[in-house]
């Protein structure tokens, strides 16, 4: 099976011998992009979050062969150690991580989440379904798909709020 994935702007022509390879494992094992983490392989933790054609998804719940021609952004595409994105710098400043294992997923998820908000997507907590506001409660709700057992949640909320305000 031949699959073409555009990952962080670079095109990869993958030959997969096995249709069971998840998008997550394709990234980690076939493309050596280990930044995307596997916390549960079951769609329950968010550690594997990537952005596919502009939407955040759990890459463990999706097979690589379903993504022929898709544009994918992983943590490696958000920023590198020498050239960090504002969201990544805010996570460092606010200590939005401890062990760091959920962190790429949190940052990718937060990046896409702010975009969803900018586009006016409501959440179940939004009072105004057309123009939801960026409150702490909205951030918590929209980030609840990303589990952090080190429990850095308050710091994650601080980092996201600061990034959003800086970009506004």
Partner 1 sequence: MSDPITVSLFHRMNFRDEENLLDRTVQGVISTPMDRPEGPLKVSGTATYADEDHPPGTVYGWLVRATITKGWVVGLNSRALRRMPGVLAVIRDERMIRNPAQGGDAKSPYQGPAEVFYKGQPIALVVAETFEQARDAATAAQAEYLDRSHKAVIVPAEAEYETPRGEQSSQGDLDRAMQEAAFSVDVEYTTPSMSHASMEPHAAVAWWQDGRLTVRGSYQMLNTNAQELADALGVSPKKVRILSQYVGGGFGSKLGISHEAVGAAIAAQKLGRPVAVALHRRQVFETTHRRSESRQRVRLACDAEGRMTAVGHEVWVSNLPGESFSEPVTQSTPFTWAGENRLIGHHIGRLNLNGAGSMRAPGEAIGVPVTEAAMDELAEAAGIDPVEFRLRNIPEVDPSSGKPFSNNRLAECIRRGAEKFGWADRPKQPGSRREGEWLIGMGMSAIIRVNMMGPSTARVTLNPDGTALVETDMTDIGTGSYSILTQIAAEMLGLPPEKVTTMLGDSDLPPSIGSGGSRGAASSGTSVMLAAKALRKKIAERMDCDPDDLTLKDGTAIAGNRQRSLSDLLAGDTLEGTGTIKPGLAEMHHRQASWGAEFCEVAVSSVTGEVHVRRLSGVFAAGRILNAKTARSQCLGGMIFGIGQALHEKVETDARDGNFVNRDLAEYHVPANLDVPHIDIELLMDDRDAYANPMRAKGIGELATCGTAAAIVSAIANATGHRFRHFPVTLDKVLEKLG
Instruction: List contacts with partner 1 (CB under 8 A).
Output: 17-18, 20-21, 25, 28-29, 33-42, 44-45, 47, 74-76, 78-82, 84, 88-89, 91-93, 95, 97-104, 107, 136-137, 139-141, 143-157
Are 99 and 59 in contact, with CB atoms under 8 Å apart?
no
Which residue number, 14 or 21, has a Cβ lying nearer to partner 1? 21
Gap between the Cα atoms of 144 and 64, Å rounded: 25
> Which of partner 1, ligand FES, none interacts with 48 (beta carbon under 5 to 8 A by kind)?
ligand FES
69: three-class secondary structure by DSSP: coil
Gap between the Cα atoms of 109 and 96, Å rounded: 13
Are 156 and 96 in contact, with CB atoms under 8 Å apart?
yes
Centroid of chain to Cα 17: 27
71 lines the binding site for ligand FES (CB under 6 A): no
39 lines the binding site for ligand FES (CB under 6 A): yes
Chain positions contacting ligand FES, by CB under 6 A: 38-48, 58, 60, 97-103, 148-150, 152
């Amino acid at each position: 099976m031949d699959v073409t994935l555009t990952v962080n702007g670079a095109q990869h022509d993958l030959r997969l011998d096995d249709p069971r390879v998840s998008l997550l494992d394709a990234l980690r094992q076939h493309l050596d992009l280990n930044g995307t983490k596997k916390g549960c392989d079951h769609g329950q933790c968010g550690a594997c979050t990537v952005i596919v054609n502009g939407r955040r998804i759990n890459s463990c719940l999706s097979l690589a062969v379903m993504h022929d021609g898709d544009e994918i952004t992983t943590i490696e595409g958000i920023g590198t150690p020498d050239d960090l994105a504002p969201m990544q710098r805010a996570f460092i400043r606010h200590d939005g991580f401890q062990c760091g294992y959920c962190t790429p997923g949190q940052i990718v998820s937060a990046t896409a989440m702010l975009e969803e908000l900018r586009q006016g997507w409501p959440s179940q907590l939004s009072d105004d379904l057309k123009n939801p506001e960026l409150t702490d409660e909205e951030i918590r709700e929209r980030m609840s798909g990303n589990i952090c057992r080190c429990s850095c949640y308050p710091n994650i909320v601080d980092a996201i709020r600061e990034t959003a305000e800086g970009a506004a």
